């Protein structure tokens, strides 16, 4: 049993952390939010230069061929920095989706630009009625001529507005029956796409996406497999493991900020850190965070497990523990900061909002409790 990191892995973590510490102060982040994309293209290039965008891409397509552990290390550092850039969306989910589902020609066409940062791709799978059940998509693809017509509505798509390529999940329509699940690489300028842009509670640019009879060529369908479900399940679990790691990074920062505040803030002639009730509250935060860290490790290890049932149970368990940590630590960090905690000016509320968003994405805590419960007996 060994919970340590190799020298190479530690270096990856340290390098990413150093970059964030230098380039991603909270004030710098405020500036990035105001940019046209809602994030910084310079930072994105910085990630590319460090090789971070290549981690989830195979070597033969310009990548580094890394895995879940490397992703976890990078994501934890990005979580500490409350990073706005589309790392999770493009460098993890979309990169893995293309790698897993694209045929060699498609991989060669799409992946190098993702690794270099030249292009951004986003996996669009949530829909209004799916309630986290990614298999239950209503988006349909009808064969037409030498391509497909896509119609559907994708919900709350982080970084959808910046995507050069939208990887859209849809079921092939044939004779009235929804058929196999497929993923289509849809170029942003495809006629028939409509976006409603907005910002989510955590400051990330996002959008609704409608495909109104959008025609895509046959080559757009990532067709390395007849049915995308098994591969897509692995891709989404990799995303889930990544977001768990991001949450742990944010949780660590939030606890550190809370401890420092409690030491600095004096009321009734003493730092409030001296009050036992608040010490116990911070101890409770430690309990949540250490459990979350443990489950983040489990998620990394199990996310690549070929046995779907084992993998699914572990991923759900991880999301439950992390979701509960997000809620408790986030709320208590705000509470312990008093009035300052509810301001926009201080970074505490921004961590709180990111943790809120993480809890609601990739399946809420209740969703995963039910998933886990479903395999109890």
Minimum distance of another protein from residue 339's CB (angstroms): 5
Measured CA to CA, the distance from residue 5 to residue 9 in angstroms comes to 6
Shortest CA distance to 360 belongs to which of 314, 313, 323, 312? 323
Size of the site for another protein (CB under 8 A): 44
Dihedral Cα 138, 139, 140, 145, nearest 10 deg: 170
User: Do 333 and 341 contact (CB within 8 A), yes or no?
Assistant: yes
Q: Is 324 in the site for another protein (CB under 8 A)?
A: no
Measured CA to CA, the distance from residue 301 to residue 3 in angstroms comes to 11
Measured CA to CA, the distance from residue 151 to residue 286 in angstroms comes to 47
Interface pick for another protein out of 206, 211, 285, 322 (rule CB under 8 A): 206
Q: Is 155 in the site for another protein (CB under 8 A)?
A: yes
**Strands 266-267, 165-174: pairing kind:** unpaired
Minimum distance of another protein from residue 143's CB (angstroms): 29
Site stretch for another protein (CB under 8 A), options 32-40, 264-272, 293-301, 308-316: 264-272
Q: Is 338 in the site for another protein (CB under 8 A)?
A: yes
Distances (CA, A) of 134 to 37, 230, 257: 27, 12, 36
Tokens read off for 325: 């940590």
Q: Is 229 in the site for another protein (CB under 8 A)?
A: no
Site stretch for another protein (CB under 8 A), options 64-72, 173-181, 218-226, 347-355: 347-355
Minimum distance of another protein from residue 341's CB (angstroms): 7
- List residues bridging with 166 in a β-sheet: 122, 186
Minimum distance of another protein from residue 223's CB (angstroms): 28
User: Do 206 and 86 contact (CB within 8 A), yes or no?
Assistant: no
Minimum distance of another protein from residue 208's CB (angstroms): 6
Give the binding site for another protein (CB under 8 A): 126, 128-129, 131-132, 155-156, 196, 198-202, 206, 208, 266-268, 275, 277-278, 327, 331, 334-335, 338-339, 341-345, 349-350, 352-353, 356-357, 360-361, 364, 366, 369-370
């Amino acid at each position: 049993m060994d919970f340590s990191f190799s020298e190479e892995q530690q270096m990856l973590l340290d390098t990413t952390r150093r970059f964030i510490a230098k380039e991603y102060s909270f004030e710098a982040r405020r500036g990035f939010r105001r940019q046209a994309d809602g994030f910084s293209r310079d930072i994105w290039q910085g990630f590319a230069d460090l090789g971070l965008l290549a981690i989830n891409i195979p070597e033969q397509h310009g990548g580094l061929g890394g895995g879940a552990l490397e992703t976890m290390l990078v994501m934890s550092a990005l979580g500490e920095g409350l990073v706005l850039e589309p790392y999770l969306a493009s460098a993890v989910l979309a990169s893995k989706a293309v790698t897993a589902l694209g045929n060699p020609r498609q991989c060669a066409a799409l992946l190098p630009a993702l690794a270099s940062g030249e292009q951004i791709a986003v996996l669009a799978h949530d829909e209004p009625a799916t309630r986290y059940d990614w298999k239950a998509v209503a988006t349909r693809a009808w064969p037409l001529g030498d391509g497909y017509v896509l119609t559907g509505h994708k919900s709350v798509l982080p970084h959808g507005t910046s995507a050069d390529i939208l990887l859209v999940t849809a079921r092939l329509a044939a004779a009235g029956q929804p058929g196999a699940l497929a993923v289509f690489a849809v170029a942003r300028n495809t006629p028939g796409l409509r976006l409603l842009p907005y910002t989510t509670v955590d400051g990330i640019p996002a959008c609704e996406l409608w495909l109104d009879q959008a025609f895509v060529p046959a080559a757009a369908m990532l067709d390395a497999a007849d049915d995308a479900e098994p591969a897509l399940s692995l891709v989404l679990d990799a995303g889930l493991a990544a977001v768990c790691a991001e949450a742990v990074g944010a949780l660590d920062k939030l606890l550190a900020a809370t401890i420092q505040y409690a030491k600095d803030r004096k009321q009734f002639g003493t730092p409030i850190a001296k009050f036992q009730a608040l010490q116990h509250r911070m101890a409770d935060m430690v309990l949540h965070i250490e459990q979350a860290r443990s489950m983040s490790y489990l998620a990394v290890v199990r996310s690549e497990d070929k046995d779907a049932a084992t993998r699914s149970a572990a991923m759900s368990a991880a999301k439950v523990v992390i979701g509960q940590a997000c809620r408790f630590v986030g709320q208590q960090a705000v509470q312990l900061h008093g009035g300052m905690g509810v301001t926009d000016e201080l970074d505490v509320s921004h961590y709180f909002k990111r943790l809120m968003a993480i809890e609601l994405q990739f399946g809420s805590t209740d969703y995963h409790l039910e998933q886990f419960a479903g395999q109890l007996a």
